[in-house]
């Protein structure tokens, strides 16, 4: 029997199929609560922003895990927020959209129903704010803020059932870079001075997440 190119192609095809279907992969859906957002993690920031409480909303995510290689991908819709607030200076309407992609490694704790995960994430966010003053001594201000962030996130997954587990993770902000556009409608200033654009570079924030995940 002669070894031909057809045999080589057949071996490569069989190996590719084995690689594609031989790996044990799992998918999980997760819903997290975001708590205690502090430091530079209070992004995006606005000149007339609304003060954030200890709870900053729920974040749905999907987790794709390769059990053979002990790595995972997590895609999260971190925040969709429409808020308004009013104080003695005026009224602010604020909109924030934030998403995050995370890649990392998993480490099982032998003999326990717990697993460590260590991941790095890239976040994208956009926010806009409209400030309407309540007095004539101030002027309306429109702001928009777009940026990217890099974070390090350790996870502790605790199994409740075979499919259900709790995910505890404090996310540490390593770097945030944002572009801020501000438009102050002040008729006392020339029009070219009313619009401003500047850049923000921050680090050293944190966000605590507590989530519940279900393996499909």
The residue-averaged pLDDT of 68-96 equals: 88
CB 130 within 8 A of CB 139: no
Q: How many domains does the chain have?
A: 1
What does the buried/exposed string (b/e) look like for 4-19 if buried means 16 or more CB atoms within 10 Å of the residue's CB?
Answer: eeeeeeeeeeeeeeee
Say whether pLDDT at 22 is over 50: no
Cα separation, 68 vs 17, whole angstroms = 16
pLDDT exceeds 50 at position 2:
no
Sign of CA dihedral 186, 188, 191, 194: negative
Domain CATH for 191: 2.40.160.20
**Domain range for residue 202?**
29-215
Q: Quick one: which of 209, 215, 113, 210 has its CA closest to 164?
A: 215
pLDDT at residue 21 above 80?
Answer: no
At residue 9, does pLDDT exceed 60?
A: no
Residue 74: pLDDT over 50: yes
DSSP conformational letter for 111? T
The per-residue pLDDT for range 128-167, each reduced to its tens digit, is 999 988 887 788 989 999 999 999 999 999 999 988 999 9
Is 100 within the bounds of a domain? yes
Over 63-99, what HEC string results? EEEECCCCEEEEEEEEEEEEEEEECCCEEEEEEEEEE
The answer to which of 65-69, 77-81, 106-110, 164-168 has the lowest mean pLDDT is: 106-110
Burial of 135 (0-12, 13-18, 19+ CB in 10 A): exposed
For residue 198, is it within any domain?
yes
Query: Is 6 a domain residue?
Result: no
The answer as to whether 134 is a domain residue is yes
């Amino acid at each position: 029997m002669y070894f031909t190119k057809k045999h080589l192609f057949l071996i490569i095809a069989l190996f590719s199929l084995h690689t594609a279907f031989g790996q044990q992969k799992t998918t999980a859906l997760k819903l997290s609560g975001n708590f205690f957002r502090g430091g530079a993690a209070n992004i995006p920031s606005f000149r007339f922003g609304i003060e954030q409480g200890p709870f900053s909303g729920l974040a749905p995510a999907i987790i794709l895990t390769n059990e053979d290689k002990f790595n995972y991908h997590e895609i999260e819709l971190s925040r969709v927020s429409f808020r308004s607030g009013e104080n003695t200076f005026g009224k602010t309407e604020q909109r924030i959209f934030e998403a995050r992609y995370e890649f990392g490694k998993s480490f099982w704790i032998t003999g326990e129903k717990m697993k460590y995960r260590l991941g790095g994430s890239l976040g994208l966010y956009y926010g806009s704010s409209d400030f309407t003053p309540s007095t004539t001594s101030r002027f309306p201000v429109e702001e928009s803020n777009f940026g990217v962030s890099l974070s390090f996130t350790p996870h502790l997954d605790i199994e409740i059932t075979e499919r259900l587990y709790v995910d505890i993770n404090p996310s540490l902000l390593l770097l945030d870079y944002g572009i801020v556009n501000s438009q102050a409608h002040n008729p006392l200033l020339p029009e070219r001075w009313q619009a401003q654009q500047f850049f923000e570079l921050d680090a050293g924030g944190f966000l605590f997440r507590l989530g519940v995940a279900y393996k499909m």
